[in-house]
Amino acid sequence: MKKATLVLKDKSFFEGKSFGADNGSAGEVVFNTSMVGYPEALTDPSYKGQILTFTYPLIGNYGICGTKKDKNNISKHFKSDNIHIKGLIVSEYCENYSHWEAKKTLADWLKENNIPAITGIDTRALTQKIRKTGTILGKIVIEGKDEPDFYNPDLDNLVSQVSIKKPIIYKKGPKKIICVDCGMKNNILRNLLERNLTIIRVPWNFDFIKEGIKFDGIFLSNGPGDPAMLTPLHETIKKAFEIKKPIFGICLGNQIMGISSGAKTYKLKFGHRGQNQPVIDVSTNQCYLTSQNHGFAIDEKTLKKDWNIWLKNLNDNTIEGIIHKSLPFFACQFHPEATPGPVDTVHFFDKFAKML
């Protein structure tokens, strides 16, 4: 293994060994507290532009499974067709994997996708630093290779990089929904299809109202980056509100609904990334454990009077869901479709289907 160094924008650094691709990379350094699910996390489009640190000390022990598809021809194990992170940081990489479905090592998979990775890093110290100072820009430098420049993903429209380029139709049942793809995870698509819905999956900037498409409801997906950048989508959803048909948003979709309704968003200090985030329904006091991956949130002070706060994070009291007081619009900041993580809130898909 070659020497590899994680260099942070504040000039601090962490030294380790390279086990991924033999090239440097740069992005925003974030951490995820999950114990399992690294193949799902790496293929989650919401991680676009980020160097991901796993706090769990051992990564790679069950390898990487093959590309099996389900009955809808959707990948069973990956959340999209590509790895989206800019780099991977772990405390200890396990070279010898053991899993009955595994086809290759994590290292081989990363090399195939040109993603650098470092093992031997004190991830506890790195995570404590991020929690104290906030997310920070960083770069992975491989011994003997060119050193990359720092890269700030918040300056780019990352959604445009992960969204589909033209509409796709999945024919199922009689109810038809517009599904705005901002970097949608495969298991969201799977959950919608399992509710016997016909899905018209459209790019993030596709004005489906101007196109005159008939539909029974709208779904807004997860995705990466700053939601305030997506002005064309804000304008389309403002028009959709006037139609008053059901709208359901997840993660970035929650932020888009907030902005389109007149609220503002802000960047969290270090975000929420893990499988054990406690969320409470403020109207019923029911608590859920949720899977999360986001760096922005809706500013509670700017939420308009026609909307209620539906869900809140019990760790930091940030908004985890909003719901309209009289119209069929609702959204959550976390991932009810899980993969990885708990399925406490998968019934939100049933809630949406019943509204149509």
Catalytic choice (84, 272, 324, 335): 335
Cβ-based burial of 15 (10 A; exposed 0-12, middle 13-18, buried ≥19)? middle
Cα distances from 195 to residues 69, 101, 172, 260, 347, in angstroms, run 19, 28, 9, 27, 11
Question: Is 28 an annotated catalytic residue?
Answer: no
Rounded to 5 degrees, what are φ and ψ at 15?
-100, 145
Rounded to 5 degrees, what are φ and ψ at 47?
-90, 10
Question: Is 251 an annotated catalytic residue?
Answer: yes
Rounded Cα distance between 128 and 55, Å, is 10
With tokens 């901002």, the residue in question is 182
Beta carbons of 225 and 49 less than 8 angstroms apart:
yes
User: Beta partners for 32?
Assistant: 54
Rounded to 5 degrees, what are φ and ψ at 231?
-55, -45
Question: Is 65 an annotated catalytic residue?
Answer: no
C-alpha R_g of the chain:
20
Beta carbons of 30 and 130 less than 8 angstroms apart:
yes
Rounded to 5 degrees, what are φ and ψ at 62?
-115, 15
Q: Which residues of 155-174 are buried (b: 16+ CB within 10 A; e: fewer)?
A: ebbbbbbbbbeebeebeeee
Rounded Cα distance between 105 and 265, Å, is 39
Catalytic choice (28, 40, 320, 337): 337
Catalytic choice (179, 182, 251, 332): 251
Catalytic residues: 251, 335, 337
